[in-house]
A and B are shown apart, each in its own frame.
Chain A
Amino acid sequence: MDGDCSSLLPAVCLVLADPKQTPPDDTSLEKLLDWFKDLHSQSNGQVLLEHQPCLLEFISSVCASKATDPAILSFTLKLTGLLAASKQDFHLLEEGGHLVCVFEREAWSVCDLWEDASVRSGWIQGLLNMLKHQQALDFICRQGLIKVILQLQNDRSLFVACLANQLLVQILKLLTPSDVTSGSDAVVSSKSSSSLDWVSVSSEITNAVVEALSSENHPQVLQGVQLLSLVLSQCEEPIRSSLWKDVLPPLEVLINRGSEPLTQPLMTVLRAAVMTPLLGQSEYKVEEFLEVMLGTGNRKEGILCATLIVKLEKCPKVLKRKAMDIILLPLQCVSTQSQDEKEVDLVLKEPLSQKALCISLLVQSLSSLAELAHKEYFEGVCIPSVTSRVVQLLRVCSGHCTSSLLHVSACTHLIGSCKIQRCGLDTLGALSVYEDNLDLRKDIFGVLLDYLKSPDSHATVLKKTFQAVLRWIGVCASFPDLLQFISNDLFPVLEKRMCDVRWEVRDSTLEFITQLTVALSDNSGFVEVLYTSGLVSILLSLLSDTEGYVRASAVTAVGEAVTSSVQQMALVSKINLLEEALAQMMIILSQDTEGFPRRAVVKTFTSWLKGSNPITALDSSLSSVLSLGGNDFDWEVKMHTLELAEALMEKMLTCCPYAVQSFSSSERTRLTQSLSKLKDLGLFDVLLNGLFDCDRPVCEKSCQLLLKLKRLNAEKADFDHDALVLKACGNRWGDEVQSRFLNKQQVKASEHVLIGGGEGTEKDLHCIKEIPLSVILQILDLDDMQRMLKLSSDHVVNSPRSLMEDILSAAQQSEENIVDCY
């Protein structure tokens, strides 16, 4: 803790402990705790309480006061726990009786403070903070706090109940020998020294879990199940298996009962259990439970369970097979041919006849398939058949229902269901990883095209369709019929979609075109198709769309189209795309009221500049882009402009890499020419204006680029400085540089006067309309500026000192600012 903070802390403690003061704003106390947490982690065994006795006084006075605000009490509980996390501070607190005083639950009940959820949660968090060593555990047990914690497990506040579960898990972890013996701060291995009967502590918790699972009260069962999941996923042996053994009978009852509200939490337990060595040991019945869960309860959970089983490494094949069948069943039911009717009908007739259930089953089945497809978990499943079913289902959803389908009633539920459409399209996209499916590409593209064409397709569905199309195009790139599909089928639909009334659709279409162009940019056939279609002219027209998002996406799409056309040089002469694009982009940069399109324009220029094929036509616009972008009121446009400047510098100055030691005269001339060209483009004005910008990131970037220049300048000191004189007047940066220049001049002059020199500073004031770049770079103490910029924290000051000053000044402010909010 630095000196400033140590001197402020006592006053802060006094303010916080004063019951007449309203507590500071809700974030201040949390931030103060964050600071103590940092202090604790950096303390290296230092005893905080010894150096800061005000903290002990603070804790005592809060304990003694009956009028403490719940927020302050909660803070004190957490703070005490945090301090007691180190053994030395723990002893100090215990010796002074502070620990008992703070964590004695009864004390807070007397003044009704316990009724406040923030106090209960502070109490648990305090104990959690403290529980870093065995003595803390000892304290909790000795004070009989386990009972209170178990009660809080069923608290009416969700937050408190969850915290109580975490605390119980933490206690059990500390009881686990592996934890006891390992870990630096933790714990002495010989439990025998402790006066406590550890077995009784763990069995108290275990009994509570068993009791909860056997209870008829649903919330209590739920908390028990949640604790069990936490123990399984966080605790080690032997706690894990001993708890599992004890809970097996009631757990078995619960699982066999198949109560619907519990299936999800029970699944969480099983999910945690399969990650442990409990799986594979028949006496622990994990596989048995999984099998029961597959068949009982609501079928959606059955599918979830099946997904879990399919992903298991160690699992009997028969069970995996069964699980896969369960995942596929809903899909089979709605897309099967009539001859299988009887078999399927029996199982899912009822769920599929109810709309909500039917949709939720199919959604679960499809998302499970997508999840498994991503990781290629399908074993022994005919992938093309699954894919065909997904395609068929998507057809049903878009209203193309064929009469041979089984569940006509189910089909009516599915028509137009966005939920299933979105899920189905995700799944279809995911299935593109299987080569076996390539023969189905006609069907797949067919159904995707139907979705793109359909006027009823929801914007979110269209977005998913685009994603699926992109994935399939990616894997079908080598097929000769792909280009035919793109030009004859896809492009006409895209042209239509680019004129959709919904901006969401227009934007998604443009994003898709950009991605498609990037993916197929080296395919000359594609570029030809792109330019012979009417797509490009619509792209250009969308540069003046009413929606800013769309204009920005159009800029990016046009940018990519230009890049691809440049790569295929032959086409460029046929069209004046670049010319038209440049003209419109300049209008956007100078006139657009929204930041996105302007940002997109500058980014596009940067990507053109960085491209492997130079676009000579850019040169005439670069100076305008730099000037407009550098003077934009959106700091991100300015940042992108600086990135453009950086790219420009890289490109023009790379002929003379900075590290090269010796220069030939021709290279020197070239460097001078390059620099003077950069000057003509206005690049230095952008950098210097950026240096004095009101937004820190802009200053930082400008400073970094100017430093680069300075280094170059220093290394190649002999190039022609006169060619690089900048006009200081009329530029924003001019005033700053001038005043710094004058300051230096004055210092020099005064030195001169002292030595006996003459006057003349007044005269100099009017003489510095033009300053050489090299002088500017010298005047500006760029290294110092960069250091300062790195130090600055943007005025949302995060330092503990500022935080404490804020708390103190808020306390002095008598007038309460009425609660307000944006």
Chain B
Amino acid sequence: MPDIKVTPLGAGQDVGRSCILVSIGGKNIMLDCGMHMGFNDDRRFPDFSYITQNGRLTEFLDCVIISHFHLDHCGALPYMSEMVGYDGPIYMTHPTKAICPILLEDFRKITVDKKGETNFFTSQMIKDCMKKVVPLNLHQTVQVDDELEIKAYYAGHVLGAAMVQIKVGSESVVYTGDYNMTPDRHLGAAWIDKCRPDILISESTYATTIRDSKRCRERDFLKKVHETVERGGKVLIPVFALGRAQELCILLETFWERMNLKAPIYFSTGLTEKANHYYKLFITWTNQKIRKTFVQRNMFEFKHIKAFDRSYADNPGPMVVFATPGMLHAGQSLQIFKKWAGNEKNMVIMPGYCVQGTVGHKILNGQKKLEMEGRATLDVKLQVEYMSFSAHADAKGIMQLIRMAEPRNMLLVHGEAKKMEFLKDKIEQEFSISCFMPANGETTTIVTNPSVPVDISLNLLKREMALGGPLPDAKKPRTMHGTLIMKDNSLRLVSPEQALKELGLNEHQLRFTCRVQLHDPHSDTDTLSRIYTHLKSVLKSYSIQHVPDGTVIVESIVIKVTSSAEEPNLKVILLSWSYQDEELGSFLSTLLKKGLPS
């Protein structure tokens, strides 16, 4: 039986880096190629040696698909394509292709700056990798080769994020990447066709959470910023160049406008211009509100948010500063943090994950004394807040997506084992489908029952209609008889006559013959007449003919009687029938073996 195999190399029962292998219809596809930012050696990348030992990734993989630009989904891509050596096609949406190199470059810049870093890719490698990327449009079916096709759907989450349907013949898999089922301030909600895939591979970051509305979190954020500014404090928001930063900028910009606030807001890096450029360029990927507003006013051209100069950090009075990098481990965000940390009026808001070892990680864990370079101790007196704005589907959203796509099986990735377990039970109960949650390195195999599409000739359908019965209905399967022709990669069911005609073949009749001996003290002609009479009485509904040339015919069955001169009473009855009358033929031979009624 054909099957689909799914093996996570990452994101199997964890929220680390995503990298999932799918084998479907003889094709091998890698879904996402993420990096773990918490390590500074090869452990940050998926171990590709499990895919193929000789580094022949190009031969093994038919394509790589990247769902969105976050580094835990695309960070290992340049390593894989330029250092391990994958030369095949890589697919991602247009915005992802545009933004991905910015984030990779951003991370490379803060990584190469660190000590003890090994085996990391260069700018040139990022560029060379991006040159191999084939961009995808939403809802456009792309043929990877003759058999494999992929189609992207809107996933929300971040600009350009996509879910992707992978199809080989009638078998299909949908991979969600990270998605969000509720629209947020700058993006819309995920959506997919009722495509009934064999497997829906879904993220499950918030598998057990019904999250409080994003509005609440936003209100909370604005309240905290406002309070700090009101009491004359400074707010530092460490961010990465792209993604959450833009969302928070829109939020503050609107709030400042509404409240008529005067405290300055700064964005510390030039990268924001580029980022905003992409948001403008890909405006169709944002939500309806932004698209509408864009006609009157560009949401990404901020009135209150200005470029930061490092001398501003010492200015008296309140201010809000967005600074990179997001984990407070180097650069401007750290420099500003050091200046402001000693004042309890100030606040730092961490809007994302921080890896162990960074200042961000330490202060989130409540450390109040930090040993900085030069062995000086920094007292952390400012307020530390953690706010999650990440846009993932919660339990309700995941169930909603299942209802939308109607998959035959479900497979959970990108979540914690315990939470997945809970959701798995819920899905199995509510939808009566199997739900899997393989750990990294474990393969889930799902046997499929592929339906093979066949065209049926009109003649054959007409003939079937003539025989009566209901009209053809896609939802009610029924049996059809005909000749199956495989030609030029297509399958057609036609009548045998048409098949002969089309293929230029002669018809060969296949007949079964059988001899039955019986003793009958009559002439051959009489014996035949007796047979005729006997059959007439037994097979009442059949047309039975006694032909003058000395044969009896029942349907296709021909019966003759012979005898030898030596033994005139020993009659040899010859029966012959075509394969269609196989049953009747054997019945008659058995009947005649029993002898004729006296």
Contacts and interface: CB of A to CB of B under 8 A. Distances in A.
A674 interface: no
B356 A422 contact: no
B373 interface: yes
B356 A803 contact: yes
B70 A822 contact: yes
B131 A504 contact: yes
Contacts of A821: 15, 70, 72, 178, 205, 352-353, 390
B351 to A, nearest CB: 9
Contact of B274 (A116, A364, A594): A594
Interface in A551-606: 593-596
A596 B442 contact: no
B72 A822 contact: yes
Interface in A797-822: 797-798, 802-803, 805-806, 809-810, 812-813, 817-822
B359 to A, nearest CB: 5
Nearest to B274: A593
Interface in B401-452: 416, 439-443
B40 interface: yes
Nearest to A422: B87
Nearest to A784: B374
B357 A797 contact: yes
Contacts of A214: none
B537 interface: no
Contacts of B156: none
Contact of A806 (B147, B356, B442): B356
Q: Which of A162, A360, A803 has the most CB of B within 10 A?
A: A162
A820 B331 contact: no
A356 interface: yes
Interface string B193-217: 0000000000001100100000000
B393 to A, nearest CB: 14
A199 interface: no
Interface stretch (B228-236, B251-259, B363-371, B504-512): B363-371
A791 B373 contact: yes
B40 A160 contact: no
A549 interface: yes
Nearest to A818: B388
Contacts of A810: 365
A806 B352 contact: no
B514 interface: no
A508 B50 CA distance: 33
Contacts of B331: 635, 694-695
B355 A460 contact: no
B439 A794 contact: no
Nearest to B15: A819
A806 B50 contact: no
A694 B359 contact: no
Interface residues of B, number: 80
A696 interface: yes
Interface string A612-655: 00000000000000000000011110000000000000000000
A188 B37 CA distance: 44
B113 A460 contact: no
Given A156-B442, A818-B388, A794 B356 contact: no
Interface stretch (A20-28, A236-244, A523-531, A751-759): A20-28
A594 B366 CA distance: 37
Interface range on chain A (Cβ under 8 Å from partner): 35 or more
Nearest to A632: B270
Contacts of A610: none
Contact of B353 (A364, A593, A788, A822): A822
Nearest to B101: A549
A25 B388 contact: no
B146 A355 contact: yes
Given A356-B145, A817-B364, A27 B115 contact: no
B131 A460 contact: yes
A118 interface: yes
A795 B338 CA distance: 12
B421 to A, nearest CB: 12
Contact of A697 (B113, B277, B329, B373): B113
A268 B54 contact: yes
A796 interface: yes
B590 interface: no
Interface string B337-380: 00000000000000011011111011011110001111000000
B534 interface: no
A72 B358 CA distance: 23
A157 interface: yes
Contacts of B362: 802, 805-806, 809
B160 interface: no
Contacts of B356: 24-25, 27-28, 31, 803, 806
A324 B352 CA distance: 57
B452 to A, nearest CB: 18
Nearest to A163: B441
B210 to A, nearest CB: 13
A159 B50 contact: yes
A694 to B, nearest CB: 4
A347 interface: no
Contact of A822 (B40, B209, B240, B374): B240
Q: Which of B15, B59, B240, B443 has the most CB of A within 10 A?
A: B59
A819 B390 CA distance: 9
B355 A694 contact: no
A794 B53 contact: no
Contacts of A497: none
Contact of A795 (B205, B209, B311, B373): B373
B38 A26 contact: yes
A27 B358 contact: no
A799 to B, nearest CB: 9
Nearest to A426: B87
B358 A795 contact: yes
Nearest to B350: A817
B131 A158 contact: no
Contact of B39 (A27, A636, A802): A27
A160 B442 CA distance: 9
Contact of B109 (A356, A636, A817, A818): A636
A27 B354 CA distance: 12
A459 interface: yes
A732 B311 contact: yes
Contact of A794 (B114, B277, B416): B114
B102 to A, nearest CB: 9
A30 interface: yes
B105 interface: yes
A54 B573 CA distance: 100
Interface of B: 7, 14-16, 36-40, 43, 50, 53-54, 59, 70-72, 87, 105, 109, 113-116, 123, 127, 130-132, 145-147, 178, 205-206, 209, 240, 243, 268-270, 273-274, 277, 310-311, 326, 328-332, 334-335, 352-353, 355-359, 361-362, 364-367, 371-374, 386, 388, 390, 416, 439-443
18 contacts: A30-B39, A156-B442, A162-B50, A459-B131, A460-B87, A593-B270, A696-B373, A732-B311, A789-B373, A793-B373, A795-B357, A795-B372, A797-B371, A803-B356, A806-B357, A819-B416, A820-B388, A822-B70
Given A156-B442, A789-B373, 7 more contacts: A28-B356, A364-B59, A548-B274, A732-B311, A788-B373, A812-B366, A819-B15
